Amino acid sequence: MAEEEKMRRQLVLAKPFSLEDEKDSELTASSVIRKILSLIKTVRPGSDLTNFQLPPQLILPRSRLQCYGEMIYSFGGQDLLGECSRRNIPIERLKSVVTWNISTLRPVVVGMSPYNPILGETHHVSNGYINVLTEQVMHHPPVSALHATHEQENIDVTWCQYFTPKFRGAYVDVEVNGKRVMKLLNHKETYEMDQPRLIMKFLPAPGAHWAGKVKIKCPETDLEAELHLISDSFIERLRGNNNRSIKGKIFESSSGNQLYNIFGHWDRTVMAKNLKTGELEVIYNAKENITGLKPPTIKNLQEVMESESTIVWSEVSEGILKKDWERAREAKILVEEKQREALKQREASGESWVPKHFSVVKDGKDWHCTPLQPTVPRAPLVITEK
């Protein structure tokens, strides 16, 4: 019992970042920029920044693996993933996949960063019939794999993600590489999806937003969707587009015949217009889906893996949440030193790292991650019971 209580204390389950959290005074762009400026003042000109560490004040108390998982298991409204398979007509299924894809877009805090996952770190959570497992399968480059399955609707989702940040002067352009694949097994349909870019601006006003083109294609139904996430630039504002607006279309792949127009804002509502009938419908409401998000709770402590993100970073997260910055800094250094020591031991013994839950293959510049198991088991951390 003492050991179980100790482990329970080690689990720090931070609340997912919801739409309403953007109003938090600690996370506003102006507040974060003040922290960055105060940090710059402490760095002497000409200082060696080779081993410079981001201070805990600029770190979110969650791993990047948790951020990926939250995009699927953390939602406040209906089960949009399950809805993709419940529709009887192919065009309605594609519209549902578009809706679900939009729901994975979440607010980003400019200047704040989650933890970079250590090699072999995992995150395993269930919500209703949805089970999600993520694993850090490579460290250089940092490649993250995700597998999610829907028990009731027989849906399989896989991601293989790695990003390339590029400094563009007044902003950083983060290219998110890797495909997202959804399989609706009851309908024998596969949907391949691109990923948007993340733009982090410093001038003239700080901000972070999703941008770029996302394609969603289903070869079996000859249907395709194209979404454009509009960048918050001066030119786009002159065109009447503002931050977080989204435009797109649904069309037949072979003929190019357009069936629907998509428009709206991913942090408010998104509409679909049937071009044949002129009918308008709301396909996504952000207020219903990404507000009031709750953290997981512990369902089965004995089944929580030692590699679980919430255990790996627990001391750091607790320090950040309590604003004990020195404790958080020391705990973060400890995690990173432990990872370096494990790497040295593997190199000394000639041992290669092998992921536990995925097989990883490099194809040119791309990486492909395949789950080793056909389905994701129920997790010991849950949002709601099925």
Domains of the chain: 19-297 (2.40.160.120)
Please count the other Cβ atoms lying within 10 Å of the Cβ belonging to residue 350: 6
Q: State pLDDT tens for residues 209-228.
A: 899 999 999 999 999 999 99
Between CA 41 and CA 45 the distance in angstroms is 10
Nearest by Cα to 342 from 59, 123, 159, 136 = 136
- C-beta separation of 13 from 66 below 8 A: no
Angle between helices 314-321 and 325-349 (to 10 degrees): 170
Q: What pLDDT shows up at residue 37?
A: 56
Which tokens go with 353? 């790292």
Q: How far apart, in whole angstroms, are the C-alpha atoms of residue 172 and residue 149?
A: 34
Contact (CB, 8 A) for 129 and 104: no
| DSSP-derived 3-state class of residue 19 | helix
Strands 113-115 and 59-63: parallel
Single-letter code of the amino acid located at 53: Q
**pTM score:** 0.90
Q: Give, for all 386 residues of the chain, the pLDDT tens digit.
A: 555 555 555 788 888 888 887 776 555 555 656 655 555 555 555 444 334 467 888 899 999 999 999 999 999 889 999 999 999 999 999 999 999 999 999 988 777 889 999 999 999 999 999 999 999 999 888 999 999 999 999 999 999 998 888 877 777 888 888 889 999 999 999 999 999 999 888 777 777 889 999 999 999 999 999 999 997 655 555 555 567 899 999 999 999 999 999 999 999 999 999 999 999 999 999 999 999 999 999 998 999 999 999 999 999 999 999 999 999 999 999 999 999 999 999 999 999 899 999 999 988 878 899 999 999 999 999 998 87
Q: Is residue 312 within a helix (H) or strand (E), and if so which, with residue range?
A: helix 309-312
The residues facing 187 across adjacent strands are none
User: DSSP readout, 160-195?
Assistant: EEEEEEEE-SSEEEEEEES-EEEEETTTTEEEEE--
What is the tens place of the pLDDT at every residue in 134-144? 999 998 889 99
What angle (nearest 5°) sits at the alpha carbon of residue 246, between those of residues 241 and 248? 115
b vs e for 305-329, b when ≥16 Cβ sit within 10 Å of the residue's Cβ? bebbbbbbbbbbbbbbeeeeeebbb
Give the residues across from 386 on adjacent strands. Answer: none
